[in-house]
Amino acid sequence: MLKIIDLFSGVGGLSLGFIQNGNKVKKAVEYDKTIANSYILNHPGVDVIIDDIANIDNAGIFKEGDADVIVGGPPCQGFSMAGARIRNGFMDDPRNYLFKHYFNIVKSVKPKVFIMENVKGIQTMQNGEIFAEILRIFSDAELLGGEPYQLFFKVVKATDFGIPQKRERMIIIGTTVPNINYMDIWEDTIIQIRREIPTFFDSVTVRDAISNLCEPTDSGVVTSTRSMTDYQMYLESRNSTLTNHSKTNHSTVAVERMKKVKSGENFTVLNERINSVHSGSYGRLSWDEPAPTITTRFDTPSGGRFIHPIENRTLTPREAARIQSFPDDFVFYGNKTSINKQIGNAVPPKISYFLSKLVENILKKGNI
């Protein structure tokens, strides 16, 4: 059983896959109190620290040996604004303090493996200089007290993990295990999971994910119905009820617009000007395809392609959670804005589950 620290944990999408695989998340760090409360209620055995990561880093809370694995995705707002003098100023630029403290905690704890999750575009920000600097820092023996990390990075597609969503994210993995062939271990991990869960990597559509959900209710609590697909069975709860299945009350104007949009279409079929920067605005999902990336605005018609395939409303939180691969017994707490943020910003737990198996296999190669 591996000991995990989850930094920038959010509601715990990254944590969940490791927990499902029998590992122990010792501590999680989340700045937002409401989101942290949701994490606590879903993961009662985890010590959740609700604070700014800068305070945690500066207080020296984490010590060497506290975890075998550190996971987390430091937000990259500062990366995209970084100046041209990357090499001299990257770590000291206050806009990149979130990344700096992630690095410092990895340096202090010295985990055998770390996983950093971030936006796909981080690889090309500032002509690739920022990404190159991140890789340089984590492989610099002098900065890391003589224990650099062997690094691997890959843009992962959620659809490749049997998730009904066209989400793409950058995964950076570092390990102190020497002479690791990451791609061989990656392929071996796929084979291993296929043996254990034969349908894990099967292609999944929106229909496969949400078609058995009944009519939403004002409370969001509905009776569980029989799973119709392998994906629904993978996520199904032992409880007799589901939560978070409530719909947004749209304006009459918005509903009339949605009525005019057919499956796969968007605002371009409306004979009016829509004030939205999103190209998928007023887009209706197709039953027989994966959804686009679930964002924090999945309840807003103008926010993207989030209209239900056949109903004139946007996705409910439970439907969005299904598309993100959260299990049905995972409950999201807080107001609507917070719940949308918890779901939209999460790492899909199926990806996390794969990563947990991958980490185990990396450590087995090193006999750790």
DSSP summary character for residue 307? B
82 — pLDDT class (breaks 50, 70, 90): very low
276: its two tokens? 């939205």
116: amino acid identity, one letter? M
Spatial separation of the C-alpha atoms in residues 230 and 250, rounded to whole Å? 32
Mean pLDDT, to the nearest integer, of 47-55?
Answer: 93
Which has the closest alpha carbon to 148: 157, 139, 156? 139
Residue 76 known to be catalytic: yes
Within 13 Å and on the Cβ side, how many CA atoms surround 73? 23
| DSSP code, position 283 | P
Catalytic pick among 67, 76, 204, 362? 76
pLDDT band at 74 (very low <50, low <70, confident <90, very high): confident
- Residue 85: the pLDDT is 47
Which pTM was predicted? 0.93
User: How many Å apart are CA 162 and CA 172, to the nearest integer?
Assistant: 21
pLDDT digits (tens, 9 = 90+) for 184-235: 999 999 999 999 999 999 999 999 999 999 999 999 999 988 999 999 999 9
> At how many degrees (to 10) do helices 129-138 and 97-109 cross?
20
CA distances from 90 to 85, 148, 197 (A): 8, 19, 43
DSSP assignment letter at 354? H
Q: Set out the domains of the chain in order of their start, with CATH numbers.
A: 3-200+349-365 (3.40.50.150)
What are 138-192's pLDDT values in tens digits? Answer: 998 988 888 899 999 999 999 999 999 999 999 999 999 998 899 999 999 999 9
Neighbours of 213 (CB within 10 A): 18
Percent of the chain with pLDDT over 90: 73
Is residue 133 within 8 A of residue 76, CB to CB? The reply is no
If we measure between CA atoms, which residue out of 8, 12, 40 comes closest to residue 348?
A: 12
What is residue 58's predicted lDDT score, i.e. its pLDDT? 87
Task: Average the pLDDT over 292-302 and give the result.
Answer: 94
Q: Distance between CA atoms of 368 and 361, rounded to whole angstroms? A: 10
